[in-house]
Structure 1
Amino acid sequence: MKQLLYKNRCGLTLILMAVLILIPFLGMTPLIDPDEPVYGETAREMLLSGDWLSPHIFGKFWYDKPPLFYWLEMLSYGTWGVSDFTSRLPSSLMAISTVFYVYLQGKDLFNKKIAFIASFLLLTSLGFIYVGRAAITDMTLMLTLTVTMISFYQERYYLAYGFCGLALLSKGPIGYAFPALIMLLYILLCHHWHLIRTMKIPQGILLAFAVGLPWYVFMYHVHGEAFLDTFIGYHNITRFAAPEHPGQNSLFFFIPIFLGAMLPWTALIFPAIHRLMKKRDPFKDTLIFCLIWAAFIFIFFSLSKTQLVTYIAPMFPPTAYIIGWYLYRCYTEKKLPCTGVGISILAGMLLLLCNAIPLNDGAVFFKSAIFWASILLSAAVCIPAAFLYWQKWKKAFASAVLLMTLFTWSAYGLILPTLSDHITSYRSAQILHDVYDGHSELYVEKFIRPGITFYCGLYGTEWEETQNMNFSDLLASPEKTYLIMTRSSYEKTAKTQPVIYQYGIAAEMPTQLILINHP
C-alpha cells in the first residue's frame, strides 16, 4: 500500500491540492448575477418538471445552451438538494478532473515532471480557479474539449470523437467545430498530411453525432423552427456576427483578460513562446500543437462580436503545458528565467497600484475587496518569482500553492460574502417575500430576474432599462404594481422619466430597489 501511494504521490498530491483550492467555501456567496442564477434556475425548473431534455426557465422553454451542464446540476440537486453549493459543485468536480487529466496525459505527451508542473500551473492560475468555482458551462466545455484535443494528438481517435460529441452537448456547435478546425490548422502548418488518412473521419463523424446529435434531433422534433432560429440562429450565428451588448466588444478585449487569467504565471508566457520558436526541442511538435490550440481559441473569440470573459477558458490547459515545459527547461538547464522574474515583480507592483483606480459612487463598495485582493495576488506573483530568482524551485512552487490557496479561501470565504448584497439578488428575493402581496403585477429587471426567481420562486414580468416602459401609465393605473430594479437603472430611468420618483420605495438594498406605484 505504501509503495502504491509513493508511486502515485504526484497525482494524489494534485488531487488533494485541487480539492483544497476548488471545494471550500463554494456555498458562502449566493449565486452571482446574472449568469450563475440563470443556469441554477434552469436546472432547478427542469428537475421540478421532470423534463431532462428541454431546458426551460421562468416556466418557458429556453434554447440558450445544450443540456450537459444542466444535467450535472440536476444530478447534484437530486443528490444533495438545491443550494448555492450544489449549483457550483459540478464545475468544481469538472475542474478537478481537468487538472488530473492534464497530468495523466501530460506524462505521455511530455514527461512526468512537465506533466506535474503544467497541471500545477493550471490549478493555481486565477482564471482557472474562477471558472472552476462558478455555476457556468465553461468548465464543462474545457474538460470535454481538452480530452478531445489531447486524444486527437495521441491518435486515440474514437475517444476524441466521443468527447467531441460531449463537447457538442456542452456548448453547442463550437464543441464540434473547434476540434475540426484546430486539427486542420495543425495538419496544414506542420505538414502532417498522413493524419488525414488515419483519423478515421467517416467513423468518427458518425460516433460524434451518435453522442451529441440525438438531443438536437429531439429538440427540433419537439420545438421545431423555434429551436433552430433561437439556438442556432441567434445564440450561435447572430451572437458571433453581432454584439449582444453593443459597445462592449473589441479586438483587444481578451488580451488583458488572458494576462489576468494566467496570474501568477503570466510573465512566463512570453519567454516560453520565444524559446519555443527559437530553439529546437524534442517536444517541439507537441508544443506547436498546444500553441495552435490556444491561439485558435483566442483569435476566434477576439473576432467574435459577442465577448464574455470566460469564453477563452478552453485555452488554459494548452497554455499551462507550454509554460510548464519552459520552467522544466529552465530547471534542467539551471537557467534563470530572468525575463519572467522581472515581469512578475513589475506585475506585482502594478497589482498594488489597482488601489489608486478612482471608483465612482456606485462602486465604492469594491474598495476594500480591491485592497485585499491586490495584496494577496501581488504576494502570489512576487514571492514565487523571488524564489525562482534564487533558483529555489520547490519553494517557488510551494509558496505559489500556499498563496493561491490563501487568496482563494480569502476571496470566497471572506471577501465575496461581504459583497453579496451588491453582486447578488439574494437579499432582494428574501425581502420580496415580506413586501409583495402575492397577486399584483410584478416587473423584474432582466439582469436580476434569474436571481430573484432562484431564491424566491417568483417569475414576474421581465423588464430592462433599455425598454420604453411608460412609468406614468403604471403610476396612473388603479392596479397595484411592484417593480424590482437595480439602483443604476433607477437613476438612468429618472433622467428621462422623473415620474419614477413618485413611486414608493417598498424596500431598499445597496444596489437594488423594490418600488410600488401605490404605497
Structure 2
Amino acid sequence: MALGAGLGLRDPSPPDEPRFVLAARQMVESGQWLIPHRGSELYAHKPPLFMWLQASAYQVVEDWQIAFLLPSLLAALGTLWLTWDLTRRLWNRRIANHAAFALFATLQFGLQAKRGQIDMVLVFWTTVSLWGLARHLLCGPNRNGLLVGGFAAGLGTVTKGVGFLPLLMLLPWWLDRRMDDATVGNDARVPAVRLWPWLPAAFLAGVAVWLLPMLVTVLGSDNPELHRYASEILFRQTGTRYVESWHHVRPFWYYLQVIATLWLPGALLLPWLAPAWWRRIRRGDRRTLCLVGWVVLVLVFFSVSPGKREVYLFPALPAMCIAAAPLLPGLLRRAGVRYVLLGYVVALGLALAGLGASGLAGAAWAARIAADRSLSEPVMQTLLTWLVVLGGGLLLLAGWARPRRAATAVVGASVLVWTFYGLALAPNLDASSSARKLMHDVRTRIGSDAELGLVAWREQHLLQAQGPVREFGFERDFQAQWRDALAWLAQAPEDRWLFALKDVARDCVDPEQLIELERTSRRDWVLVPGAAHVPGCVPRAATVNPLIRMDEP
C-alpha cells in the first residue's frame, strides 16, 4: 500500500516528529504519561494524546521507526473509511468510492499520512465527529451518532486545541432549518433532533479523558512548574495563540494559496464545483449546505487568526471531498475536466523529471541543497536519479491513461508518488534530516565514555544522541544554557564536551579549539572540548525572553 510504503525505513525528522517521539519515549521510559516532557522541561505546547498513541504503538511493536508513524498511518486509513462510509450514507456506494479516491489523491492527505505529526490524527477525530454529527443531523435522528460526534470532538480538542471545529456544522444546519419551507427539498428534510444535553455531555466526556486528571494533578500540587504548565497549555497556547499569534504570521488570504497547491488536483476542479454547489444549496440540499458551509466556516476561522500554517486547514479536506463526490461522475464525463486532470499528472511528471535532470546536470540549486543539508554527493545523485525515475513513471502513466482514463491516472500518480517517497526518497534523506549521522559522528569524535552537553539544541539532537548526555533546558534563553553548560564543563574538562549552536559558543572558550560539525537544520554546529574553556571567564547574562525560541512550532 502506498501510504504504508517505507514504514520503518527512517527516523523522525523535523518539523515536529522528533519533538513528539522524544516526549513519547520519555513516557515509556519514566512511566509518567499524564504530562509530557521535552528533556528536563515540561512540554506545554500540545496535549499528550498523540504522544500516548505513539508510546502505545511502541509498546506493541517495540520499534520507534515503526511506532512513531503508525498512529498517522492508521488515522489516514480510518479517515478514508469514514469518508467513504459517510458519503455512502448520504448518497450511495458509487459516489462514496469517488469521495475516498478524491481524498487519497489529494497531495496534503498523502503528505500528512506519511508524517509522524499530530495533524493526521486530529483529522481522524474531526472526521469521526463529522461522521457522527452528520448521521444525526442529516440522516437521523441518531442519538448514538450524536454521542460519537461529540465525544470525538472532545478527543480532538485534547489532541490539538482546534478539535472542536466539527461542532461548527451546527451553524449551517441551524440556518437551513430556518429557511422557508418552499426552498427546502422534500428529500433533504429530517425530523427535528434533540442536541441537549447529549452533545455537550459527550464533548465534555471526550475532553475529560486528559483534562480532568491533569487538572486534578495540578490543583493538588504546590509545584509551580505544574501550575505554569497548566496556564501555558490552557491559555497561552490556545486563546492567546489564536488572537495574538507570535509565529507563522501570514496574510488573510494565505489559505487560498494552500488550497491552490496542497489541495491539488482537486483544487483544479473548483471552477466547476463551486457553481454546482451553489445551485444545490439554492435548491435546498441540506447535505451540501452543511458540508460546504462547514468548510467555509473553518476557512474563515483560521483566516481570522494572524498565525497560519498549511496544516491548520487540513481538517476541512475530507468534508470538501465528500461534498464534491456526487458531482464527480458528471464532471469526469466532461472532456475539459479530463484534460485538466491529465495535465496535472503530466505537469507533475515534467516537474519532477526536470528537477532531477537539472540537478544531475550540475544546477546550482542542487549544490545549495546538498550543502545546506550536508548531503554527500552519492546520496544527492541517488535522490536526483529517483526524481527522474519518478517523473518518467508519471509521464508513462499519463501516456497510457490518455484523457479517457484521466481519473485513474490521478489516483495512480498518488500511488507512485507516495510509494517512491516512502521507499526511495525519505530513506535517502534520513541520515541527514534526522541528525542520526551528525550525532553518530559526534559520539565517534568524543569517545564512548565521554559526557556530552547540549546547548541550543533541537529535539532531533537529544533524540539521536548516544552515550551519556546532559542538557540545560530547551526553552531557556540560549545564553543562560551556555552559562550553565560552561560551569558543568569546567567541573570535569577532561571527560566532558559541549555540542552547541555555533553562534552561541562564543564567550569564555578558545575559538581555535572548537571543532566545526556538519551544517544541519539550516544551522552551523560546533563541538567544544573541555580544554577550550577559559578559566575564570564570566559569560554574558541572558538578555532574551526565555519563552520565545526561534524554532518554536
* Same structural fold, with TM-score higher than 0.5 when normalized by the shorter chain: yes
1:171 aligns with 2:160: yes
Quote how far apart the aligned CAs of 1:107 are. Answer: 0.7
1:417 aligns with 2:427: yes
* Alignment-derived partner of residue 262 in structure 1: 263
Quote how far apart the aligned CAs of 1:410 are. Answer: 1.5
* Alignment-derived partner of residue 515 in structure 1: 527
User: What secondary structure, in the 3-state scheme, does the structure 2 residue paired with 1:21 have?
Assistant: coil
- The one-letter code of the counterpart of 1:254 is Y
Q: Are 1:507 and 1:515, in contact at CA under 8 Å, matched by a contact in 2?
A: yes
Ranges in structure 2 where 5+ consecutive residues have no aligned partner: 137-144, 181-188, 220-226, 374-379, 533-553
* Alignment-derived partner of residue 221 in structure 1: 216
Which of 137, 146, 158 is the equivalent residue of 1:157? 146
- The one-letter code of the counterpart of 2:266 is W
| Pair 304,456 (structure 1): closer, same or farther in 2 beyond 3 Å | farther
Distance in 2, matches of 1:90 and 1:470, equals 34
Of Structure 1 and Structure 2, the greater helix share is in 1
Bigger CA drift: 272-281 or 120-129? 272-281
User: What secondary structure, in the 3-state scheme, does the structure 1 residue paired with 2:270 have?
Assistant: helix
Distance in 1, matches of 2:396 and 2:292, equals 26
Which of 405, 415, 421 is the equivalent residue of 1:405? 415
Distance in 2, matches of 1:62 and 1:45, equals 11
1:235 aligns with 2:237: yes
TM-score (norm 2): 0.75
Q: Are 2:345 and 2:394, in contact at CA under 8 Å, matched by a contact in 1?
A: no
Q: Are 1:264 and 1:380, in contact at CA under 8 Å, matched by a contact in 2?
A: no
Quote how far apart the aligned CAs of 1:125 are. Answer: 2.0
User: What secondary structure, in the 3-state scheme, does the structure 2 residue paired with 1:40 have?
Assistant: helix
Q: Are 1:380 and 1:404, in contact at CA under 8 Å, matched by a contact in 2?
A: no
- The one-letter code of the counterpart of 1:175 is G
- The one-letter code of the counterpart of 1:484 is F
1:104-129 CA-partner distances (Å, limit 9, x unpaired): 22111122111101101212322111
Bigger CA drift: 501-510 or 410-419? 501-510
| Pair 388,154 (structure 1): closer, same or farther in 2 beyond 3 Å | farther
Quote how far apart the aligned CAs of 1:374 are. Answer: 8.3
1:276 aligns with 2:277: yes
* Alignment-derived partner of residue 141 in structure 1: 122
Listed as ranges, the matches of 1:83-482 within 5 Å are 83-155=64-136, 156-172=145-161, 174-176=162-164, 178-188=165-175, 191=178, 198-224=193-219, 225-245=227-247, 248-278=249-279, 284-331=285-332, 336-337=336-337, 340-341=340-341, 344=344, 348=348, 351=351, 359=365, 362-364=368-370, 373=387, 376=390, 380=394, 387=401, 389=403, 391-392=404-405, 396-436=406-446, 442-446=453-457, 448-453=458-463, 456=466, 458-462=469-473, 467-468=478-479, 478=490, 480=493, 482=497
User: What secondary structure, in the 3-state scheme, does the structure 1 residue paired with 2:68 have?
Assistant: helix
Distance in 2, matches of 1:513 and 1:434, equals 16
Equivalenced residue count is 486
Ranges in structure 1 where 5+ consecutive residues have no aligned partner: 1-19
Q: Percent identity?
A: 19
Distance in 1, matches of 2:463 and 2:342, equals 49
Quote how far apart the aligned CAs of 1:324 are. Answer: 2.8
| Pair 441,408 (structure 1): closer, same or farther in 2 beyond 3 Å | closer
| Pair 282,420 (structure 1): closer, same or farther in 2 beyond 3 Å | same
- The one-letter code of the counterpart of 2:196 is I
Q: Are 2:498 and 2:528, in contact at CA under 8 Å, matched by a contact in 1?
A: yes
Distance in 2, matches of 1:58 and 1:43, equals 11
- The one-letter code of the counterpart of 1:442 is G
Quote how far apart the aligned CAs of 1:422 are. Answer: 3.4
User: What secondary structure, in the 3-state scheme, does the structure 1 residue paired with 2:2 have?
Assistant: helix
| Pair 386,281 (structure 1): closer, same or farther in 2 beyond 3 Å | farther
| Pair 416,478 (structure 1): closer, same or farther in 2 beyond 3 Å | same
- The one-letter code of the counterpart of 1:363 is I
1:214-244 CA-partner distances (Å, limit 9, x unpaired): 4212212212432331101221122222334
Quote how far apart the aligned CAs of 1:502 are. Answer: 3.4
Quote how far apart the aligned CAs of 1:439 are. Answer: 6.5
1:484 aligns with 2:499: yes
| Pair 502,186 (structure 1): closer, same or farther in 2 beyond 3 Å | farther
User: What secondary structure, in the 3-state scheme, does the structure 2 residue paired with 1:198 have?
Assistant: coil
User: What secondary structure, in the 3-state scheme, does the structure 1 residue paired with 2:158 have?
Assistant: helix
1:13-44 CA-partner distances (Å, limit 9, x unpaired): xxxxxxx0111212222211241011111111
Bigger CA drift: 41-50 or 355-364? 355-364
Structure of higher CA gyration radius: 2
Bigger CA drift: 183-192 or 101-110? 183-192
* Alignment-derived partner of residue 539 in structure 2: none
Quote how far apart the aligned CAs of 1:326 are. Answer: 2.7
* Alignment-derived partner of residue 4 in structure 1: none
| Pair 280,65 (structure 1): closer, same or farther in 2 beyond 3 Å | closer
| Pair 85,187 (structure 1): closer, same or farther in 2 beyond 3 Å | same
